[in-house]
Amino acid sequence: MGTTVRRIGRIVLSFFFRGLLLLAPVTIILWALWQSLRFLDGIIPLDIPGLGLLTLLAIITVVGWLGTTFLYEPMAAIGEELLQRIPFLKTLFDAIKDLVEAIVGSKRKFDRPVLVRLGGAMEVERLGFITQSDLGHLGIGDGKVAVYLPHAFNWSGNLYIVPAKNITPIDARAADVMKFVVSGGVSQVDDDE
């Protein structure tokens, strides 16, 4: 009787953990989505739930449309002049703009996945992305490249300047490599994509 109860207990416990594994990612994503929507809706506080978010989306879309019209050049010139007067803001704005362009814009930079051989006796390698091959504008000589190494379970990372000889290009989609790194190496690449 005691072994039967223990066996049933293990079965129930395994079902519990399987359910936890299935529900935890979905719950976290739904919670993050809900919190993001609440935050975005609160940027423009209106009494009707969701109207603030719709207003924000409309404003962003109109600004995007204005960016394609003849009004963009004079507005950009005024903005650039203001930024030139405040060096810290200019540096911050340029860095954020370049990062957004590198991720989703026309100047995608995270499109060359590589393995980076790190020094030391263990022959450790890390996955990364070459962001620049020519570093002459920084006064860094030939034979070195800029490699972005993302962190696991985070959308942050470090930029390293490494000898090009320590780089091995990878024959994989950049999105799959990023997903693999950010997941801590637990995500699988789908063959049907």
Domain boundaries, the chain: 1-62, 67-104, 113-182
Mean pLDDT of 151-161: 77
Pick the range with the lowest mean pLDDT from 67-71, 140-144, 164-168.
Answer: 67-71
The string of pLDDT tens digits covering residues 42-78 is 888 888 888 888 888 888 888 777 777 777 778 777 8
- Rg of the chain in Å (alpha carbons): 24
Tell me the C-alpha distance between 22 and 28, whole Å. Answer: 11
User: Which of 82, 75, 77, 40 has the alpha carbon at shortest distance from 59?
Assistant: 40
> Which residues are CB-contacts of 141 (< 8 A; sequence separation ≥ 6)?
135
The pLDDT assigned to 142 comes to 82
The pLDDT assigned to 163 comes to 86
DSSP secondary structure letters along the chain = -HHHHHHHHHHHHHHHHHHHHHHHHHHHHHHHHHHHHHHHHHHS--SSTTHHHHHHHHHHHHHHHHTTSTTHHHHHHHHHHHHHHSHHHHHHHHHHHHHHHHHHSSS--TT-EEEEEPSSTT--EEEEEEEES--GGGT--TTEEEEEEEPTTSS-EEEEEEEGGGEEE--S-HHHHHHHHHTTS-PPPPTT-
Tell me the C-alpha distance between 75 and 84, whole Å. Answer: 14
Q: What is the pLDDT of the chain when averaged over all its residues?
A: 78
- Angle at CA 25, nearest 5°, toward 22 and 30? 120
The pLDDT assigned to 122 comes to 66
The string of pLDDT tens digits covering residues 87-121 is 677 677 777 776 666 666 666 667 788 888 887 76
Mean pLDDT of 14-32: 77
Q: What percent of the chain has pLDDT over 70?
A: 83
> pTM for the whole thing?
0.50
Tell me the C-alpha distance between 87 and 93, whole Å. Answer: 10
Mean pLDDT of 82-90: 72
